[in-house]
Structure 1
Amino acid sequence: MPILSTTVIKECTAADSPVAGQPSSVCTRKNTFLVVDGSCDSYVECIEFVPVHKTCPDGLHYDPSVKWPGYPCGYPADVPCKGRGAAQAAEPTKDCPHQFGFFASTAASPNDCGRYRMCVAGHAVEMSCPTGLAFNPILSRCDWPFNVPSCNVDAFLAYKCPAASIDASGNAIVTNHKYEGNCYAFYSCEAGESRLLSCDAGLAFDPTTGYCVDEDRVDCGVKAVPQQSASAALVAPIQI
């Protein structure tokens, strides 16, 4: 999800109509949210014991764990709807399958796995995952490229790991390799799967030892700007 941009989701407006104009037995607490059976994205908001039926914007689900007065709608990746019923009909636009959400970018080249599309109120914004990560359309998150079946990892990272090495116990040995053109970055290989990582601040990759060491001990030439560690970016592209 974080290092990428955030956005403010509009207040629920679809199907906002009172269940009752006066306090009723529906609301046993003064201010709270209630689940609507058979619906992923509808809920009842009790305000001063008066129930009001509401529906999350298209693409979002109602989150029963949210306590009033928090915003009760979340992305499907964070709020699964399994066994809770159905979601409202989609309201697609030319660029977005739903009004809100994260989707694979149709503008990205086949090997550009890090591009994705953020939809806000039906408007698409092209986004990019942190260096070394690919967009996983199943999880709607940036992920390790080898977890994304549609991604050609070798082409995307411009690197192919050597054959996997196994130790005496049969476990895969992790090996690290130089990233040409940036002494702060390196490839980490395990069982033939590659990750593009970067050293912590103040460190640089030493190809002789295969580890990050004090940057003064590494001849970087014209030093490239350190890149952000991909391992810290395995989160949803944005949060509400």
Structure 2
Amino acid sequence: MKSLVTLLGLICATHIVLAQQPQNPCANLPGGTGFVNDYSSCDAYFSCINFSPFEARCPLPFLFNPNGRFGPICDWPFNVKCQPCPEHGVMTIAHPYFCQKYTQCINGIPIERECAPGTAYSRSKGGCVVEEAALCDNVNTCGKLEGGTGNAPSTRFCEDFMICYNGEPYGEPIRCPTGLLFDSKHMRCSLAKDAVCYPGTVTSASLLLAPNAGLP
């Protein structure tokens, strides 16, 4: 009985903490216009206009720094202390690279989780759903390799690729040498004129450096 009471108390406390978290990330921004942290990954942020949030991400290799010298900025990683979870509250956030993984945050403590086979994490649902319903663009491209081992395209930037072993990605994306793109047809870095980019990817050069282009 004592254990049940303790469990109910934790559930109630969780609801109280959740209730304290603003649903709109722009809610506490003076004037409702500017840039605020998006805890889904270290390079993510929200661009707020009149209290309306718009998802955005810094181009590689930059991370979002909410405490930049001149305000929020996409900054060099050595200037950023990345906090993947908010200091207070209970929530789940998507993994920045893999659909099947997510992080559970409990008062600033990140706990890595993985969805069951055949399911993937859905940002809109805040949990694991069948892969087709997850609408996740971080597809595991290692499945395109015979034997599942080798290099496979990233699903974000055409310059990037994943190292795969037994059908699973190992680590974070690696960038091709300057001037080359990853050819998803031949699974190697090639000259830009010869490379076939993975569908849906873009080159980092095609993105404006936001929210502030004045990086050192």
Short-chain TM bin: 0.3 to 0.5
Indicate the structure whose relative CO is greater, using CA pairs within 8 Å and at least 6 residues apart.
1
TM-score by length of 2: 0.34
Q: Specify the structure having the higher radius of gyration (Cα).
A: 1
More helix by share: 2
